[in-house]
Amino acid sequence: MNKIIDTNLDAFKLRFAEADDVPIILGFIRELAQYENILDQAVATEEILKESLFERKMAEVIIGEYENKPVAFALFFHNFSTFVGKPGIYLEDLYIKPEMRGKGLGKVLISFVAKLAVERNCGRFEWSCLDWNEPSIKFYKNMGAIPMDEWTIYRVQDGALNKLAMKFDE
Q: In the annotation, is 140 catalytic?
A: yes
> Could you tell me the CA-to-CA distances from 151 to 6, 46, 125, 154 in Å, in that order?
37, 33, 16, 10
DSSP letters, 53-70, are: IIIS---EEEEEEETTEE
User: How far is Cα 128 from Cα 87, in angstroms, rounded to an integer?
Assistant: 17
93 touches 74 (CB < 8 A) = yes
Q: Among residues 66, 90, 95, 140, which one is catalytic?
A: 140
Catalytic residues: 140
